[in-house]
Chains A and B, each alone.
Chain A
Amino acid sequence: MDAFVLQIFNGLDKGAAYALIALGLTLIFGTLGVVNFAHGALFMLGAFCSVTVQKLLNFSKKVKDETITFFDAYKEQPYLEIWFGDMGTAIIDYSVPISIFIAIPIMLLIGLAMERGLIKHFYKRAHADQILVTFGLAIVIQELVKANFGANPIPVPAPDVVSGSAAIGVLFGLGESVVYPWWRIIYLFFSLSVIGAVFAFLQLTTFGMVVRAGMQDRETVGLLGIDIDRRFTIVFGLAAVVAGLAGVMYVPVLPPDYHMGMDFLVLSFVVVVVGGMGSLEGAVAAGFLLGILQSFASMNEVKSILPGIDQIIIYLVAVIILLIRPRGLMGRKGVMED
């Protein structure tokens, strides 16, 4: 039972990342009709925003180490510590949450630039061309990151306060031994609130209403005198921000490297296909579902019966879903069914 609850939690935070990326993918597909193979790269860029912020905050100067008196010893001390003392240390400690605020405008800009600069010219081209050009872009982004940050994963710690584990066992009446990292719980709630914000934005605001109308029938909305193209551009930026935020906060869970984007992208595509192309709710539900399934499949008890199941479970589910229900779990009739 302990292991069972733990696996559900394990699946939830991975599922949250899938859900966020898949949500962005679906948004872009639903509005612009473009399959964005560079979406994983956006996720990765978000993660590297965090890395950059951490590096900037840790910008340091060599100072004399006063604690060692036998000889002249020097140590690196971050400028922030020199300037602000304990306050500076605290700022450095909170580099990941701080990067959220920096990542939002950066990712928004990247998203807008990408749509205006590249994707815009591909609306009328074949789907294959859209896939290929975004695929090329993904390679370029990935290689640029590799050139700047190296090929090795870069660990970025979570703030000290939440680096420990929470005794979630007590909450479920399972005893003290069931513990779970605080940061992953935070990540889960963070993603849930981002998902909630996106849905609220689409459901409750006028802007969101227009966007939803545009997803249903772009032409008619255009005929009503609404500049739907501009709104869709903003939606693209929004999707980039969502992917970026998923990446920023995921850094303490998984040290980012240059190919994490593609690793997540393939799975997120599967999530989109399972959830149903064009269905936002489907993307979120399928993200969590597949995340949990994957973590159950990696339990030792399961692996001893079916070796290797943890590596292929997601693909297997996708295949089964496509065979039984080709339009996905929550796909609407007539949307990209062929």
Chain B
Amino acid sequence: MTKVYSKKNDMLLMVIFTIVVLTMPIWLAPIGAGYPDLVQKFAIYGIFAIGFNILFGLTGYLSFGHAAFLGVGSYTAVWCFKLLSMNVIPAVLFGVLTSGVLAFLIGYVALRRSGIYFSILTLAFAQMCYNLAYSVLTPITNGETGLSLVKDDPRFLDGMLGVQVVEGLPSTSLFGLKMSGYPGFYFCAVLLIIAFFIALKLNRSPFGMMLKAVKSNQNRMNFTGLNTKPYTLAAFVISGMYAGLAGALLAVTDPLAGAERMQWTASGEVVLMTILGGAGTLIGPVLGAGLIKYFENIFSAFNESTLHSIFAFLPDWVEGGVVWSVSHFVGEGWHLTLGAMFMIIIIFLPGGLVEGANKIKSWVMNRNSKTSDDSGGSGAAPQTSSVE
């Protein structure tokens, strides 16, 4: 199976992606997701998942500790808001930088092993960061309360540049443009598009080829006398930086940071996003992130009374049972749905939605080519994959 990537197709993909992302508030409005808070989340978690996919999708190394980088990105960004400036540029830069450094340190140790060991090691490191954030590092992380802005933070850069002090808590801004609501979304969206572009370029580059080679057979790579460690480490650091960027953006849209962002469930969530969309594909992780966040939003909003109104058409005795069983999966029980979805996807569709779409596509094509040309020979399914 050979795949030909033409520059033209990539260009087209980029253009479509850009348009789709930027018009998200418009076309998501009919399904009740066209408001800034949610589309911001789509963009931010899209970045997170793209970054995770650079590691997992390309090299096959399954990290269970990516939430640590997300959390560190958030903490750094909030500290930048506190110490330097309410401008988002330094916050984003420092957030990416610190999580990159952390990723380098963790990756250097964790990448000495592969397979299960790597997963366990990253999980252990993430739990370690989480524990530290709750205990010893409380002066930095503010423990359980979480880190937030206070009125008399120093903000040295703002002081030097003579930015006007406003009444009450200042909000994050990009050179005066407030980073809440739609401007916040467009800031995240532009970064998402850039992140996607970099991931695309990485995917097509010799470096990306090397990572894919590591995934398909690392031993063979080692036998040819090539040291794969620098490549995997680079991939780990890059994906850590993506996670840091996502974390910083979370702080940009809402200047708070708490340790629960670093919990293992958060790491599991990004794994699920990537797998749901399709690991190793370009568009899959973004798709997965969007779907998960959308369903999270919809499902956690449900409560008994909305359920009763939804199932009102059923006879009373059926309705009671249905509402009772469904209520475990919505609202507080959203995580149950998440876990169940996790299992179902991995059991039945390990390649994710993109693979599912490709299967359907090739099945349809197959049928078409069979009916249109009975001479045989050319009836084989054309191996097309539009986005990979």
Binding site for B on A (CB under 8 A): 35, 118, 121, 125, 127-129, 131-133, 135-140, 142-144, 147, 262, 266, 269-270, 272-273, 277, 307-308, 311-312, 315, 318-319, 322-323, 326, 336, 338
Cβ–Cβ contact B62 & A139, under 8 A: no
Instruction: Please measure, in the bound complex, the distance between the C-alpha atom of A147 and the C-alpha atom of B339, giving whole angstroms.
Output: 14
Quick check: is B275 within 8 A (CB to CB) of the other chain?
A: yes
CB-CB contacts below 8 Å: B237-295 with A: 264-265, 268, 271, 275
Tell me whether B115 and A311 are in contact (CB under 8 A). Answer: no
B350 within 8 A of A: yes
Q: How far is the CA of A127 from the CA of B135 in the complex (A)?
A: 34
The yes or no answer to B127 lying at the interface (CB within 8 A) is yes
The answer to whether residues A307 and B62 also contact, given A125-B350, A270-B120 and a CB cut-off of 8 A, is: no
Contact of B120 among A142, A269, A308 (CB under 8 A): A269
Contact indicator A319/B109 (Cβ below 8 Å): yes
Nearest Cβ on chain A to B129's Cβ, whole angstroms: 9
**CB–CB B342/A143 < 8 A:** no
Chain B residue at minimal CB-CB distance from A314: B124
**CB <8 Å contact, A133 and B336:** no
Q: How far is the CA of A75 from the CA of B73 in the complex (A)?
A: 55
Asked, given contacts A269-B124, A322-B121, A338-B113, whether A139 binds B271 with beta carbons under 8 Å apart, the answer is no
Q: Which residue of B lies closest to A268 (CB)?
A: B120
Contact B124 A135 (CB under 8 A): no
- CA–CA, A144 to B120, complex, Å? 25
**Residue contact A338 to B115, C-beta cutoff 8 Å:** yes
Residues of chain B within 8 A (CB-CB) of A135 are 268, 271, 342
* Chain A contact residues: helix, strand, loop or mixed: helix
CB distance from A125 to the nearest CB of B (A): 7
Q: How far is the CA of A217 from the CA of B142 in the complex (A)?
A: 53
State A131–B271 Cα separation when bound (angstroms). Answer: 11
Q: Is B347 an interface residue when CB atoms closer than 8 A count as contact?
A: yes
Nearest CB of chain A from residue B162's CB, rounded to whole Å: 40
Q: For the complex formed, measure the closest distance between the CB of B344 and the CB atoms of chain A, giving whole angstroms.
A: 8
Closest to B119 in A: A131
B128 touches A128 (CB 8 A): no
Interface flags for B129-141 (1: CB within 8 Å of A; 0: not) read 0011001110000
Q: Which residue of B lies closest to A309 (CB)?
A: B136
B128/A147 in contact, CB under 8 A: no
Contact B350 A129 (CB under 8 A): yes
**Apart from A132-B342, A147-B328, A272-B120: 15 A-B pairs, beta carbons within 8 A:** A129-B346, A132-B346, A135-B342, A142-B335, A143-B339, A144-B328, A147-B336, A270-B120, A277-B117, A307-B136, A308-B137, A315-B125, A318-B121, A323-B112, A336-B115
Given A140-B340, A143-B333, A308-B135, verify A266-B124 contact (CB < 8 Å). yes
Check if B338 is an interface residue, CB within 8 A of chain A: yes
CB-CB contacts below 8 Å: B91-148 with A: 109, 112-117, 119-121, 123-125, 127-128, 131-132, 135-137
How far apart are the CA atoms of A125 and B131 in the complex, in Å? 33
